Each structure stands twice: as structure tokens, then as C-alpha cells.
């Protein structure tokens, strides 16, 4: 190789390296801008929760609070009953998520690991649930719960959330279950392990990534849902955060600072859950996206 050829190859590598750097720089710039657009509403809401009504309407919406009103959080938690609504939301959300994941795991295990005649028909019936508009059954459900005395009871919300989240949860789990090797389960059968022990001691622990994925999806829906709670629950002692926030909206005066504080309180659990489960969510989505 001549010195001229070596010089040309070096120049090509330099240009390629420079092009890669420019491309990475543009990519990072786009990601930073997207991150700013995603994070800014949370920062704005935090500052909004520290303002008085006069500051909300009398200054620029982007202005910082001149005198942070930390009392808005105390007012929301104590005077507004947000503490009770918060624990109601936690109870309903956690219970519905656990039931949904457990039942969906039962169904997915039975469909992918067991041979029976109505296998495909059962799966099709569950998938039909994805095509039913969520609130189309609002009146029939209200009538049904009224007949069995579950109106104004948390169980009506838990059962509704569990039923409506099952189809999507099963669909996500199916992709992951199809990737699981059968050798471990077959070896357990050869050792005399029962079907119940195989599910609870082998299959269920292996599916932790997809369980985390479906848990955060179900949690976000259950935590933010409004229509079912507003329809089925009337007593303050059973209301969740999404409905309880209406207490701060009056006919003649609305406490916007307390509303902002309530919204911040409602966002924090979802953010914490997402940060804790983020790695598991990526693993579950990646593993369930490819069959084989």
C-alpha cells in the first residue's frame, strides 16, 4: 500500500468519524428537546401548586411563585380530604392490578401450556374484549351492580377494572409466554411436579419482566380512571383522587393552588412506580416482541 492510498483511507475514516459525531450530536439534541418538552409540564405544575389564586390569574402563567405556598399541600391533604382519596386510589389500584395479573397469568398459562379443545375459542372470546368500547357497558354495569348492592362500594370499581384490563394484559403476556422454553417445565413434570407447582414456582417467577410491564400499564389506567368511579361511587369515604379533586371546585371560588397540589400528589406514585419498574418494562416489551 502506497503512502497516498494510506492517506486517502485515513481521510475517509476521519470524514466517517466526523459524520458519526455530527449524527450523534443531532440525535442527542433531539432527545434533549424531547426530554425538555416531557419534563417541563411537571415543573410547571409544581410551581403552579405553590401559587395563590391571585398569582395564578394576576401574573404570567410561566412566572415563578413570589411566595411559595407550601400550605397548599397541607390544605389539600388535610382540609380537602386528599389523604383519604389517596389511600382509596392505592387500595383500588393495587387490588385490581394484582387480580388482573393473576387471572391473566392463569389464562395465558392455560392457553400456551395446556392442550384442550376450546383453547382457541377461549382466546378469541378474551380478545373480543379489546374491541368493546370501555364505557359502552356503563349503564348495564350500573344496573347490574345496583341489583347486587355494589353501588357505592369499592368492589364495583375493582371488578370493573379487572375485567376491562384482562384482554390487553393477556395479549401482552401471550407474546412473552410463547418465547419461554418448555424444557424446564417438562423436566419438572418428569420429577413429579404438579401443574400448580409448575405455575407458581417455575412459570410465574420467570415471567417477572412481563408482569412488571403489565403492572405499570394497568396501574396508570386504574390510577387515572374517572368515569367508572364518578358513576359507581357517591360517598366521599370511597372516592379516589380523580373524583375527589372536584371538591376544590366551587360555584363561586376555586382553590387552584390546592388543585395543583392534589395533581402533584397524584402524579408522584406513578412516577415512582415507573422509575422502579422501568428496566423490567423494557425487558418485558423486548422479550415479548419476538417469537422464537
* Grid coordinates belonging to 87: 389511600
Q: Cα separation of 198 and 274, whole Å?
A: 30
- From the list 223, 222, 211, the residue with the least C-alpha distance to 285 is 211
Return the pLDDT at 41. Answer: 86
**Phi, psi at residue 176, to the nearest 5°?**
-75, -40
Reported as a single tens digit per residue, the pLDDT across 63-111 is 888 888 888 888 888 877 888 899 999 999 999 999 999 999 999 999 9
User: Taking the domains of the chain in order of start, what are their residue ranges?
Assistant: 3-48, 79-288
**Does the structure show a pLDDT above 80 at 289?**
no
Return the pLDDT at 283. Answer: 60
Reported as a single tens digit per residue, the pLDDT across 25-47 is 888 899 899 988 888 888 888 98
Phi-psi category of residue 192: left, alpha or beta, with phi > 0 → left and psi -120 to 50 → alpha:
left
Return the pLDDT at 10. Answer: 54
Q: Which helix (H) or strand (E) holds 229?
A: helix 227-232
The string of DSSP codes covering 257-274 is HHHHHHHHHHHHHHHHHH
**Does the structure show a pLDDT above 80 at 252?**
no
Return the pLDDT at 251. Answer: 46
Which CATH architecture fits 79-288?
A: Orthogonal Bundle (1.10)
Taking all residues of the chain, what is their mean pLDDT, rounded to a whole number? 82
Reported as a single tens digit per residue, the pLDDT across 140-195 is 999 999 999 999 999 999 999 999 999 999 998 998 888 888 887 878 878 788 88
Task: Say which residue, 261 or 274, is predicted with more confidence.
Answer: 261
Reported as a single tens digit per residue, the pLDDT across 201-229 is 888 888 888 888 898 889 989 998 989 99
Q: Cα separation of 202 and 31, whole Å?
A: 40
Q: What is the pTM of this model?
A: 0.81
Amino acid at each position: 500500500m502506497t503512502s497516498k492510498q494510506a492517506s486517502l483511507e485515513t481521510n475517509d475514516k476521519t470524514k466517517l468519524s466526523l459524520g458519526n459525531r455530527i449524527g450523534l450530536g443531532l440525535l442527542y439534541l433531539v432527545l434533549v428537546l424531547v426530554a425538555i418538552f416531557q419534563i417541563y409540564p411537571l415543573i410547571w405544575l409544581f410551581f403552579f401548586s405553590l401559587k395563590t389564586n391571585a398569582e395564578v390569574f394576576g401574573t404570567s402563567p410561566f412566572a415563578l411563585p413570589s411566595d411559595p405556598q407550601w400550605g397548599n399541600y397541607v390544605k389539600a391533604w388535610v382540609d380537602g380530604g386528599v389523604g383519604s382519596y389517596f389511600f382509596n386510589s392505592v387500595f383500588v389500584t393495587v387490588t385490581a392490578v394484582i387480580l388482573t395479573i393473576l387471572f391473566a397469568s392463569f389464562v395465558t398459562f392455560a392457553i400456551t401450556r395446556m392442550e384442550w379443545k376450546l383453547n382457541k375459542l377461549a382466546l378469541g372470546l378474551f380478545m373480543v374484549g379489546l374491541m368493546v368500547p370501555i364505557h359502552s357497558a356503563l349503564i348495564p354495569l350500573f344496573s347490574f351492580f345496583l341489583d347486587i348492592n355494589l353501588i357505592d362500594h369499592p368492589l364495583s370499581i375493582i371488578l370493573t377494572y379487572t375485567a376491562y384490563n384482562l384482554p390487553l394484559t393477556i395479549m401482552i403476556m401471550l407474546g412473552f409466554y410463547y418465547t419461554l422454553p418448555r424444557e424446564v417445565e417438562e423436566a419438572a413434570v418428569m420429577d413429579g411436579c404438579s401443574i400448580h407447582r409448575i405455575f407458581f414456582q417455575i412459570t410465574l417467577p420467570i415471567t417477572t419482566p412481563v408482569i412488571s410491564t403489565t403492572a405499570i400499564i394497568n396501574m396508570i389506567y386504574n390510577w387515572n380512571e374517572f368515569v367508572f368511579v364518578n358513576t359507581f361511587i357517591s360517598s366521599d369515604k370511597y372516592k379516589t383522587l380523580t373524583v375527589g379533586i372536584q371538591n376544590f371546585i366551587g360555584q363561586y371560588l376555586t382553590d387552584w393552588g390546592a388543585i395543583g397540589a392534589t395533581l402533584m400528589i397524584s402524579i408522584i406514585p406513578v412516577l415512582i412506580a415507573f422509575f422502579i419498574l422501568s428496566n423490567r418494562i423494557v425487558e418485558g416489551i423486548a422479550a415479548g416482541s419476538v417469537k422464537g
